[in-house]
Amino acid sequence: MQPSPDALPADLPAPVDDGAADHLRGMRLPDVALTATDGTTVSLARLTGRTVAYAYPRTGEPGQPALTPDWDAIPGARGCTPQACDFRDNHAALRGRGVAQVYGLSTQTSVYQREAAERLRLTFPLLADPHRAFTMAARLPVFQAGGQVLMRRLTLVIDDGVVSQVFYPVFPADRSAQQVIDWLDGSA
């Protein structure tokens, strides 16, 4: 039996906390409209209740090579599909703990994200920030690969537009939702 192409290799390099997300806890998020894969426009600053938004570099395209040949060697780059599936698989558990909405966020276009959301059968929308308006306004951590500026992987817990918790760096990516659940349960 072949391993799943979405399974994370055991030897992925772990990202280090470079402090690039330290400013986020307590921040009122900038009011930037983002296109969601369900066709709506969302501003994370205007949402009421508790929201979980995870940022990721990019989802891969089935059958296509990685953005760069050394993608797996970039700390924290690999794992976008397993992270999305972790949030999908734990969506009900998050909702049961008072999370009103869950979103994924990347700099990919909404058209590209829509294909990924359908293919992965996500139970929540992905938000597109292709011009990095939100990324720059919130000063989210980024890195460059393959001539593109991509978001570093992080997860935000947002209460009425204000960041109450930041998970950064996120590693391994396929445990991202569980990190949030543990924090919500008071065991993180």
Q: How confident is the model at residue 68 (pLDDT cuts 50, 70, 90)?
A: confident
Domain membership flag for residue 26: no
**Residue 92: which domain range?**
34-60+69-184
SS (H, E, C) 72-127: HHCCCCCCHHHHHHHHHHCHHHHHHCCEEEEEEEECCCHHHHHHHHHHCCCCCCEE
Mean pLDDT of 90-105: 98
When pLDDT is cut at 50, 70 and 90, the band that residue 187 belongs to is low
Amino acid 1: pLDDT: 33
Top-confidence residue, 161 or 71: 161
Look at residue 148 and tell me whether its pLDDT is greater than 70: yes
Q: Is residue 145 a part of any domain in this protein?
A: yes
Task: Tell me the CATH number at 171.
Answer: 3.40.30.10
Judge whether 8 lies within some domain.
Answer: no
CA pair distance 80, 82, nearest whole angstrom: 6
Q: What is the pLDDT of residues 17-29, one digit of tens each?
A: 999 999 999 999 9
CA distance 82 to 183: 20
Give the percent of the chain with pLDDT over 90.
80
- Specify the number of domains making up the chain: 1
Prediction pTM value: 0.93
**Is residue 21 situated within a structural domain?**
no
Q: Is residue 3 part of a domain?
A: no
Q: Say if 28 falls within a structural domain.
A: no
Q: What is the DSSP string of 146-175?
A: TTEEEEPPEEEEEETTEEEEEE-S--SGGG
Q: How does pLDDT run across 6-19, given as a tens digit for each residue?
A: 677 788 889 999 99
pLDDT at 3: 38
Report which of residues 69 and 95 the model is more confident about: 95
What confidence score (pLDDT) does residue 56 get? 96
Q: Where residue 184 falls among pLDDT bands split at 50, 70, 90?
A: very high
Residue 132 has pLDDT above 70, yes or no: yes
Q: Domain for residue 128, yes or no?
A: yes
